[in-house]
Amino acid sequence: MSTFLMVVLAIASIVLIASVLLQSGNSDGLSGSIAGGAEQLFGKKKSKGYEAILEKVTAVAAVLFILISLVLVAIE
């Protein structure tokens, strides 16, 4: 059982790392934080497309990673 969970944990961690690395950044440094404040509040809603899929994959992989880690600690 624990071997299976460790394999699933390794897969979840690889998926989590890949999904985080594939996402684009939120700001363009200091100029993005000064000039892009209103754009974050009112514009560029990313409800569809590639970014939304990556956000969902990241959230699912993170939850799986945490839950499987807790289960592995509890059974050993």
Q: What is the DSSP letter of 25?
A: P
pLDDT in tens, the chain (76 residues): 899 999 999 999 999 999 999 988 766 556 555 655 555 555 555 567 888 899 999 999 999 999 999 999 999 7
Position 76 scores a pLDDT of 79
DSSP string, 29-56: THHHHHHSHHHHHHS----SSHHHHHHH
Position 30 scores a pLDDT of 60
The b/e string for 52-71 (b: 16+ C-beta within 10 A; e otherwise) is eebeebbeebbebbeebeee
Position 7 scores a pLDDT of 96
Angle subtended at Cα 62 by Cα 36 and Cα 55, rounded to the nearest 5 degrees: 35
Position 10 scores a pLDDT of 97
